[in-house]
Structure 1
């Protein structure tokens, strides 16, 4: 699994690169998840986000990808953004390829849930009124 794509990036995310990391002629389905910065949370308007990652976050991300790949026997990939993001920017792109769609959907859902719960990346939301707050600390 040396060529597994699992990375943390300060640069804008490339959906096509994540898809290409898993796609192959044996796969009839590629499921992509794009986590996008939205303009609200909990009824409050959001103006932007900052993502901060633990220095070992990429190791945790790789482990999540490896485990889901091993359990599902499918190709998986994920890239998570860090730094300051504006509304509409991609924060996470995850992909799973499989011979059939149901397996790809299930594995992609599992991958995203594990990333959100196991990878030490924290989100600070900036609200339109000037307030800010950390999520998931």
Structure 2
């Protein structure tokens, strides 16, 4: 199943009878209520038809932020938190986790020391015995 299901309102009106539209509304309401009960936000999405002339610009932006199917992702953790005081390095797979670690690093810094969140673009680890 795809991550999202998009139905054009005019298509629903044109191709479903009253009873089918009522069932669809009931199902949509059940999903909304379930998200609310789980403490999740009710989302609002932007939908763009892929035949629009500006679609490549939009998908390029989405790819840049890792929100497009087939976008190549860096294997493993790709965000690094580093602070100059402890010189600890921690790797994270999500910005949310990196930000939590960053907040902790900031709290322990003395004046003049710095904490960073860095994105690992490329990495290489030679195998044992390799020259």
Question: Structure 1-normalised TM-score?
Answer: 0.21
The structure having more radius of gyration, on CA atoms, is 2
> Larger helix proportion, structure 1 or 2?
2
Q: TM-score, normalised by structure 2?
A: 0.22
